[in-house]
Structure 1
Amino acid sequence: MRKFDFRNIKIRKVTVDELNDKMLLANLYMTQALTLIIGIIWVLFQGRNPLSFFKLPIDSNFLWWGAGLAVVVLIFDLGISRFVPEDAADDGGVNERVFGNRAVWHIAVISLVVAICEEILFRGAIQHAFGPYWTSIIFAAIHVRYLRHWIPTGLVFIISYGLGWIMIQSGTLWAPIIAHFLIDFVMGCILRFRREEK
């Protein structure tokens, strides 16, 4: 049996166009798994139980917080897209590639996985340590594909701050998970059906 030689691993920057669909999805799911693992470890180091995030609150106010923020973000995003040139909001085609050819059920799965994994790390762990402002700066910086343009970077920061704020107001991680899921799901469906129309 041949041994695997780590010295032969070569790392190079690739564009989204160089990835086939399977590699793109593998990269997406591996990134989210890593995000989830880091979030859980960070929460454990804080002496907290990550399973407590999934305890449903007694009242249903968190649904209104999550759905309300999602509606505000979607209206604002769709409104601003009418006035901002497409190249000013370009993410390098990543979102188009991720969502453009997916079935609606797969868009929902991707949106749910991303919402849970990212909210555990950012709102569950990082916000607990640094507060919503610094968490939002880190969240915007992590979304590197937007950093070339100030409008999407600013929107990501504002959305992240909103997610942190509704978590504080609702007292549960479920509110930002719901908002994050709805935003990604609706935007993913818009990308998918817009591509179908073309």
Structure 2
Amino acid sequence: MKNKQAEMVKRMSDKELLNHLYVSQLLFFLVAVVLAFFLFEGWNEFLLLLEWDIQEIFIIGSFVGIAVVLIDLILMKYVPRHLMDDGGINEKMFQKRSVIHIVGLALLISSVEELLFRGVIQTHFGIWIASIIFAIMHIRYLHKWLLLISVILLSFLLGYLYEWTGNLLVTIWAHFIIDVLLALKIRSEYIKKIDNGEVSEEYEKRDE
């Protein structure tokens, strides 16, 4: 059961996996819009959550995002690989993407997920509900105790960041920094394997 998703991913092509990501993000976005329509008194109330504060967004958000990435890199270095293995989903998703595509995907994921989990769910149901649902939605981590703990702690961290600043743009930026840096690391490692002859497949500069 716990390897079922990993096996499904192995059978999926890059294009199928990418389409699955786009569909899931579209569904998250639609759920967020529908919930926001019923839970907020008006769109102006929701827009108050988005404050263009450069210091909060780019200094606080960047600091939190980079700190999370550094902790993740330390875990990758010192923790047994099988405990950090998500079934190869992230590798297959990002290793062959162009830098521009990775940036676009990270921006899409961070914006949609923060809109739903922090902007809508946490605002109206609290940080605990938002964090639990966030962890459940990352189903591939449910059978990996270390990854599950990591994603729950990350959700609480972003939740407290949102409560502290009251600014959804800060959590979107922090989430973006985390996703884009880790995705670029995956891409860099794949290119290095090709250069070292560890991967027989030729690296394509353009996305497949």
Structure 1-normalised TM-score?
0.88
Give, in angstroms, the shift of residue 68 of structure 1: 1.4
**Range 75-84 or range 172-181, more displaced:** 75-84
Indicate which of 186, 190, 195 corresponds to 2:181: 186
In structure 1, how many angstroms separate the alpha carbons of the residues matched to 2:28 and 2:170? 19
Question: Which aligned runs of 4 or more in structure 1 are off by greater than 6 angstroms?
Answer: none
Relative to structure 1, the CA distance from residue 53 to residue 160 in structure 2 (aligned partners, 3 Å threshold; closer, same or farther) is farther
Indicate which of 15, 33, 54 corresponds to 2:8: 15
Partner of 2:17 in structure 1?
24
In structure 2, how many angstroms separate the alpha carbons of the residues matched to 1:69 and 1:140? 19
Indicate which of 43, 47, 51 corresponds to 1:49: 43
In structure 2, how many angstroms separate the alpha carbons of the residues matched to 1:79 and 1:112? 24
Query: Structure 1 stretches of 5 or more lacking a match?
Result: 1-11
Alpha-carbon RMSD across the aligned residues, in angstroms, is: 1.9
1:122 paired with 2:108, answer: no
Indicate which of 155, 166, 169 corresponds to 2:150: 155
The 5 Å alignment of 1:1-150 reads: 15-47=8-40, 48-49=42-43, 52=47, 55-58=50-53, 60-150=55-145
Give, in angstroms, the shift of residue 75 of structure 1: 1.1
Relative to structure 1, the CA distance from residue 53 to residue 19 in structure 2 (aligned partners, 3 Å threshold; closer, same or farther) is farther
In structure 2, how many angstroms separate the alpha carbons of the residues matched to 1:97 and 1:137? 26
In structure 1, how many angstroms separate the alpha carbons of the residues matched to 2:29 and 2:97? 23
**Range 47-56 or range 60-69, more displaced:** 47-56
Give, in angstroms, the shift of residue 60 of structure 1: 2.6
Asked whether the equivalents of residues 100 and 188 of structure 1 are also in contact (C-alpha less than 8 Å), the reply is yes
Deviations 1:142-197 (A, max 9, x none): 10111111111111011111111111111110011001111000000000111111
Asked whether the equivalents of residues 50 and 168 of structure 2 are also in contact (C-alpha less than 8 Å), the reply is no
Query: Structure 2 stretches of 5 or more lacking a match?
Result: 194-208
Q: Which amino acid aligns with 2:33?
A: I
In structure 1, how many angstroms separate the alpha carbons of the residues matched to 2:35 and 2:47? 14
> Which secondary structure state, in structure 2, belongs to the residue aligned with residue 60 of structure 1?
helix
> Which secondary structure state, in structure 1, belongs to the residue aligned with residue 61 of structure 2?
helix
Asked whether the equivalents of residues 51 and 168 of structure 2 are also in contact (C-alpha less than 8 Å), the reply is no
Asked whether the equivalents of residues 90 and 146 of structure 1 are also in contact (C-alpha less than 8 Å), the reply is no
In structure 2, how many angstroms separate the alpha carbons of the residues matched to 1:88 and 1:37? 33
In structure 2, how many angstroms separate the alpha carbons of the residues matched to 1:55 and 1:135? 18
Asked whether the equivalents of residues 32 and 120 of structure 2 are also in contact (C-alpha less than 8 Å), the reply is yes
In structure 2, how many angstroms separate the alpha carbons of the residues matched to 1:122 and 1:150? 22
Structure 2-normalised TM-score?
0.84
